[in-house]
Amino acid sequence: MTTLSTAQPGVATPQHFAGRILGAITASHLINDMMQSLILAIYPILKGEFLLSFTQIGLITLTYQLTASLCQPLIGLYTDRHPQPYSLPFGMLSTMSGLILLAWSPTYASVLIAAALIGLGSAIFHPESSRIARLASGGQHGLAQSLFQVGGNMGSALGPLLAAAVIVPLGKQSVAWFALAALVGITLLLQVSRWYAAHHVAGKKGGARVGAASPYPRKVVISAICVLLVLIFSKYFYISGLSSFYTFYLMEKFGLSVQAAQIHLFYFLFASALGTIIGGPVGDRIGRKPVIWASVLGVAPFALALPHADLFWTTTLTVLIGLILSSAFSAILVYAQELIPGKVGMVSGLFFGFAFGMGGLGAAVLGLVADRTSIDFVYHGIAYLPLLGITAVFLPKAVKAVK
C-alpha cells in the first residue's frame, strides 16, 4: 500500500525525518499516558478507601475516557482549520491538575472530577501530537506513528509498576509527586510547540486548508471508516475489560497480593508497548490491511484460551495478546489518515476519541456485569470480541497515491 500525499498548500512540510522532535513528542506521550495509567493502577486503593463497587470503578474509567472521546474529534476538527501549537502544554497542565486533585481527593465525586481533567488533557494532547508525529516523519508515517504510540504504551506500562513501588506503600497522596513528571512534559512540549509553529503554521494566511482528494469514492471511504471503527471497538472494549479488572482477576482467581497483581499488569502493558512498534513500520512495507487483519483476528485463539489458563499461562497469554493486539492501532490510524488526506487532526481525534470512548464504555458495562456475576464471567465473555477482526476483509485492498 503506497502512502498518500497529504501536503497542505501554504504549509511548510519538512521532507526529512525530524528525530529530535519525534523523540520529544514520544517522551511527552509517555509522560501523559503514565499519568493516566496511575488511575488504573490505584483502583484497588480507591476501591478500599471509598468502598467502591466494580460498577463505580468502571465509572471512573468511563469518566476520563468519555471526556476524551467526546472532546478529541471536535478539537481535531478545529485544529485542522486553526492550528494551535501551544495547546499541547495546556493539555499537559490539565492532566497534571487532575493528578494532583486525585492525590488529595476526599470523596468519590472529586475522584470523578480528577478523572475528567485527565481526560480533557488527553483530548487536547492527542490530535495535535499525532499531527506533529506525522509532520516529523519525513514520509515514514507508519514508523512515526508507531514510535509515538510506543511512548504512550510505555507510559501506560510504567503506571502499575510505579504504583506498586511508590503509591501502594506510601498511600494515595503520593500520586501528587508524579506531577513533577508533568512539569518535564510541559517543558518538552514548549520546545515542540515552537518547532510546530515554525514548520506547520508559518506562512499560513487563511483559516481552512485545502487537502488532497481521497483516492476512493465517498461511499467506499465511509464504509472503510466504519469497518475501522468496528475494529477499534473490538480492540478497546476487549483491552478495557482485560486491563481494568486484571488486578482483581489475579487477586480473586490466584490469590495474588495487590503489588504482585500490579506487576503482572505491568507485564501485559509492557508487552503492549513493545508490540506497538511493530505495526507501523511493517505496514509501511507490506501495507496496512495485512497488519490490521493479523493484529485483531490473530489474537482470538489466545483470548479464547485465557479464561481457562493457570497463572503461568495467564501471564504468558496476556503477554502474547499485548504484543499482537497492540500493533493494530498505528496501522489503523495511518490507514484512516490515508483514506481522508488533509484531515489529520480530525481523523486522529476521531480514532483516539473513539478508542477512549470504547475503553470507558467497556469498563463501565463490564464493571456492572462483574458486580452482577463475577470477574471470571467477564473474562469468558470478552474472549469472543477479537473475532470481530474478520470484518477487516471488507477494507479496500490498496490505497493509491494521489498525484
Give per-residue pLDDT as tens, 31-49. Answer: 998 988 888 778 888 988 9
Least confident among 140-149, 191-200, 386-395: 140-149
- For residues 332 and 52, give the distance between their C-alpha atoms in angstroms, rounded to a whole number: 36
pLDDT over 80 (residue 216): no
pLDDT over 70 (residue 12): no
pLDDT over 80 (residue 250): yes
Least confident among 53-67, 111-125, 377-391: 53-67
Q: Could you tell me the pTM of the whole model? A: 0.67
Question: How many H helices and E strands in the chain?
Answer: 17, 0
- For residues 147 and 294, give the distance between their C-alpha atoms in angstroms, rounded to a whole number: 20
Handedness of CA 181, 187, 189, 192 (dihedral sign): negative
Contacts of 374 by beta carbon, 8 Å cutoff, 6+ apart: 252
The domain limits of the chain are: 19-394
Q: Per residue in 282-293, pLDDT tens?
A: 777 777 788 888
Q: Give the long-range contacts of residues 100-109, CB within 8 A, separation 24 or more.
A: 100/176, 100/179, 102/38, 102/39, 102/172, 102/175, 103/172, 103/173, 103/174, 103/175, 103/176, 104/173, 104/176, 105/172, 107/50, 108/50, 108/52, 108/56
> How high is the pLDDT of residue 289?
81
> How high is the pLDDT of residue 326?
82
Higher pLDDT, 112 or 151: 112
pLDDT over 50 (residue 1): no
pLDDT over 90 (residue 243): no
CATH code: domain 19-394 is 1.20.1250.20
State the average pLDDT over residues 228-236: 90
Question: How many Cβ atoms from other residues are within 10 Å of residue 109's Cβ?
Answer: 10
Q: Round the average pLDDT of the chain to a whole number and report it.
A: 82
pLDDT over 50 (residue 384): yes
Higher pLDDT, 15 or 318: 318
Cell of 45: 486503593
> How high is the pLDDT of residue 45?
87
State the average pLDDT over residues 301-317: 95
> How high is the pLDDT of residue 200?
62
State the average pLDDT over residues 164-182: 88
Spatial contact of 215 and 399, defined as CB atoms under 8 Å apart: yes
Q: Where are the beta strands (DSSP E) in 150-294?
A: none
Q: How many CA atoms lie within 13 A of 398 on its CB side?
A: 7
Q: Per residue in 326-374, pLDDT tens?
A: 877 778 888 888 888 877 777 877 887 787 778 778 878 888 898 999 9
Q: How confident is the model at residue 214 (pLDDT cuts 50, 70, 90)?
A: low
Measured distance between the N- and C-terminal CA atoms of the chain, rounded to whole angstroms: 15
pLDDT above 90 covers a percentage of the chain that reads 30
Q: How confident is the model at residue 210 (pLDDT cuts 50, 70, 90)?
A: very low
> How high is the pLDDT of residue 164?
79
> How high is the pLDDT of residue 386?
92
Q: Per residue in 70-119, pLDDT tens?
A: 888 888 888 878 888 889 999 999 999 999 999 999 999 999 999 999 98
Amino acid at 87: S
Q: How confident is the model at residue 201 (pLDDT cuts 50, 70, 90)?
A: low
Cell of 267: 507485564
